[in-house]
Amino acid sequence: MSRLSKLTPDQWDPELRAIARPETATDLEQGLTRFFAHTPGLAKGLSAFGGALKMNRTLPEKLIELVRLRVAFFNQCRSCMAIRYTAALNDGVTEDLVCSLERPQEADNLTPAEKVALRYGELMATDHLAVDDALYEELRQHFTEPQIVELGMNVAFFVGFGRLAATYHMVEELPEAFRGEGTVSPWNNEHIVVR
């Protein structure tokens, strides 16, 4: 059970409803907005930032999804782990790739660029001060500096809001495997595809 009350769309600020368009979304797709609706001004600003990350993306959807899921594991954000985004599936994310996230550096189905991005995301989620000059040099072998900034902004979004979501314990709409106690993972589990 969620630790905070989720507001239903009819309780949301009208401008937030117009931005989020909850009438076209499932409860799970409405996600954290149901909590953030308690603070409409902040929710609208966050929605604009999240939208900018998506609309101005230059990195592949596949890469962003793999990094998101790996970070979600370290955050233990159950809703984050249970979701697969349609754009990422259309860009080549498969459950075999998701299973590779258990040990990404050993996976033969991940590219060198994906592996270094995953290592960056993992360190940002677990030991951010270990991100050093050598890792940035390795990132530069695969990404432009604007892409590295974009990757970092996405990872920061995933780490911060994934951790917040984990504390809210929003699990009611998730498959059973994500509702129980203990550590869960995005690999070898059911998942839900969202837009």
pLDDT in tens, 96-107: 999 999 999 999
Nearest to 85 by CA among 57, 62, 111: 62
Instruction: Give SS3 for 101.
Output: coil
Is the pLDDT at 1 greater than 90? The verdict is no
Do 40 and 78 belong together in one domain? no
Do 14 and 41 belong together in one domain? yes
Task: Please tell me the predicted confidence (pLDDT) of residue 190.
Answer: 86
Q: How many domains does the chain have?
A: 2
Do 111 and 19 belong together in one domain? no
Q: How confident is the model at residue 58 (pLDDT cuts 50, 70, 90)?
A: very high
Question: Does some domain include residue 101?
Answer: yes
Q: How far apart are the first and last CA of the chain?
A: 24
Question: Does some domain include residue 2?
Answer: no
Task: Please tell me the predicted confidence (pLDDT) of residue 127.
Answer: 98
Letter for the amino acid at 116? V
Q: What is the mean pLDDT of the chain?
A: 96
Asked whether the beta carbons of 63 and 113 are under 8 A apart, the reply is yes
Exposed, middle or buried: residue 113 (CB in 10 Å: 0-12, 13-18, 19+)?
middle
Nearest to 66 by CA among 189, 164, 151: 151
pLDDT in tens, 107-129: 999 999 999 999 999 999 999 99
Task: Please tell me the predicted confidence (pLDDT) of residue 172.
Answer: 92
Is the pLDDT at 195 greater than 90? The verdict is no
Q: How confident is the model at residue 28 (pLDDT cuts 50, 70, 90)?
A: confident
Do 33 and 128 belong together in one domain? no
The arithmetic mean of pLDDT across residues 166-184, rounded, is 92
List the domain range (segments joined by +) for residue 41: 9-55
pTM of the model: 0.95
Angstrom distance (rounded) from CA 81 to CA 170? 12
Instruction: Give SS3 for 113.
Output: helix
Do 171 and 75 belong together in one domain? yes
Task: Please tell me the predicted confidence (pLDDT) of residue 92.
Answer: 98
Do 65 and 149 belong together in one domain? yes
Do 17 and 86 belong together in one domain? no
- Six token digits for residue 21: 């368009």
Please spell the DSSP secondary structure of 54-97, one letter per residue: HHT--S-HHHHHHHHHHHHHHHT-HHHHHEEEHHHHHTT--HHH
The residue behind tokens 């930032």 is 49
Is the pLDDT at 23 greater than 90? The verdict is yes
Q: How confident is the model at residue 76 (pLDDT cuts 50, 70, 90)?
A: very high
Percent over 70 (pLDDT), the chain: 100
